[in-house]
């Protein structure tokens, strides 16, 4: 095993990922904005709590971050007492947050100038994938850094892909979030039309699952959709942020994304209605309210 591994960000995703690293035998140094969570993890004995990201970076060969989004990533990497200040030459920084491709490239360049390696390696699979260690991990950066991080990735994920240079991981995650959002919207429109016209939603799900319309969202979110249980899972506010990243990339690269733009506005409407903390499958509620019909009620 390599030297000590640092982990910053023990939220709904980060905590089970850190646990899986410990279960695979890695000794961790951890930092979390809310210190209590770090101390709870350290109480098990295989982790040590650091005072700042910079201090943590000084003591570790590889540092993994799992943060809410670009502002937090920028602060933890480039802020006062941040990772780039603390890291020694030869350290590898791996940002597994969902963040912007631009920021990933910028931080990778700043790291490289200091002789520090950096990967952007966001994940798909949600809290369930994080807990079960079955995440899909999409990494951008240099091949040698990818190979170095691979054993760590294997402790947290199942589908592990080096997709290209710095920023490519975040771009692939943006592509992933486009597809997930549009599939949720598709299923929502189909279910509400069917139900208000008199076809039971569970029949629609059953039939559609047997053909070309089959998709993972309908399988994983089935109960949430049919029972209006919007406990997250992936939150509306996170997915709205993710589509913001996708649309910023679309502007930067000159790729008009008409339907992504529309569904982005729908997430904005859900947030405006106070549903930012609901599961992203709550796109269903907008179509229901637009049609004055709750699925199941008439189907």
Map residues 23-52 to x or -, x wherever contact with its own copies holds by CB under 8 A.
Answer: ------------------------------
For helices 35-42 and 14-23, the axis angle rounded to 10 degrees is 20
Least distance from its own copies to the Cβ atom of residue 57, Å:
28
86 or 122, CB closer to its own copies? Answer: 122
Least distance from its own copies to the Cβ atom of residue 84, Å:
24
Backbone angles phi, psi at 124, to 5 degrees: -130, 145
Q: Which residues of 139-157 are buried (b: 16+ CB within 10 A; e: fewer)?
A: bbbbeebbebbeebbebbb
Task: Give strand pairing partners of 120.
Answer: 95, 140
297 binds its own copies (CB under 8 A): no
Q: Is the alpha carbon torsion for 126, 131, 134, 140 positive or negative?
A: positive
Single out the residue of 165, 228, 268, 271 in contact with its own copies (rule: CB under 8 A): 165
Separation of alpha carbons 281 and 170, rounded Å: 22
How many of the chain's residues bind its own copies (CB under 8 A)? Answer: 77
From the candidates 173, 196, 221, 224, give the one annotated as an active-site residue. Answer: 173
Q: In 3D, which of 236, 237, 238, 259 has the Cα closest to residue 247?
A: 259
45 or 210, CB closer to its own copies? Answer: 210
Which residues from 78-107 bind its own copies, rule CB under 8 A? 101
Which residues from 103-142 bind its own copies, rule CB under 8 A? 124-126, 129, 135-136, 138
DSSP state of 88: P
Which residues from 185-204 bind its own copies, rule CB under 8 A? 185-187, 189-194, 196-200, 203-204
Work out the number of other CB atoms within 10 angstroms of the CB of residue 230: 21
The continuous run of DSSP H or E covering 39 comes out as helix 35-42
Least distance from its own copies to the Cβ atom of residue 44, Å:
29
152 or 190, CB closer to its own copies? Answer: 190
The continuous run of DSSP H or E covering 97 comes out as none
Separation of alpha carbons 223 and 282, rounded Å: 12
156 binds its own copies (CB under 8 A): no
Separation of alpha carbons 30 and 62, rounded Å: 12
13 binds its own copies (CB under 8 A): no
Least distance from its own copies to the Cβ atom of residue 148, Å:
20
Separation of alpha carbons 126 and 70, rounded Å: 18
Residue 144 annotated as catalytic:
no
Which residues from 234-273 bind its own copies, rule CB under 8 A? 234, 246, 249-250, 252-260, 262-263, 266
Least distance from its own copies to the Cβ atom of residue 37, Å:
26
21 or 266, CB closer to its own copies? Answer: 266
10 or 123, CB closer to its own copies? Answer: 123
214 binds its own copies (CB under 8 A): yes
Are residues 118 and 166 in contact, defined by beta-carbon separation less than 8 angstroms? yes
17 binds its own copies (CB under 8 A): no
Q: In 3D, which of 143, 150, 89, 86 has the Cα closest to residue 114?
A: 89
> Which residue numbers are catalytic?
173
């Amino acid at each position: 095993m390599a030297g000590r591994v640092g982990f910053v960000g023990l939220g709904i995703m980060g905590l089970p990922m850190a646990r899986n690293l410990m279960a695979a035998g890695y000794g961790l140094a951890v930092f979390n904005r809310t210190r209590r969570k770090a101390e709870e993890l350290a109480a098990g004995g295989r982790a040590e709590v650091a005072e700042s990201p910079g201090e943590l970076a000084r003591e570790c060969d590889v540092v993994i971050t799992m943060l809410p989004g670009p502002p937090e990533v920028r602060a933890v990497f480039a802020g006062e007492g941040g990772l780039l200040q603390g890291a020694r030459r030869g350290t590898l920084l791996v940002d597994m947050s969902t963040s912007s491709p631009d920021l990933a490239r910028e931080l990778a360049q700043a790291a490289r100038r200091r002789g520090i390696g950096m990967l952007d390696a966001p994940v798909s699979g949600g809290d369930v994938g994080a807990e079960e260690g079955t995440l899909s991990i999409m990494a951008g950066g240099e091949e040698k850094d990818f190979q170095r991080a691979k054993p760590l990735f294997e402790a947290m994920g199942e589908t592990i892909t080096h997709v290209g240079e710095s920023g490519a991981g975040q771009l692939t995650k943006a592509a992933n979030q486009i597809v997930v959002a549009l599939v949720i919207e598709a299923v929502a429109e189909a279910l509400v039309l069917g139900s208000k016209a008199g076809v039971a939603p569970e029949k629609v799900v059953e039939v559609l699952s047997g053909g070309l319309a089959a998709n993972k969202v309908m399988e994983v979110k089935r109960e949430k959709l049919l029972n209006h249980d919007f406990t997250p899972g992936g939150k509306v506010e996170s997915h709205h942020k993710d589509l913001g990243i996708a649309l910023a990339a679309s502007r930067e690269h000159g790729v008009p994304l008409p339907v992504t733009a529309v569904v982005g506005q729908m997430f904005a409407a859900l947030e405006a209605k106070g549903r930012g903390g609901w599961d992203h499958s709550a796109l269903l509620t907008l179509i229901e309210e637009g049609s004055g019909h709750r699925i199941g009620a008439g189907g």
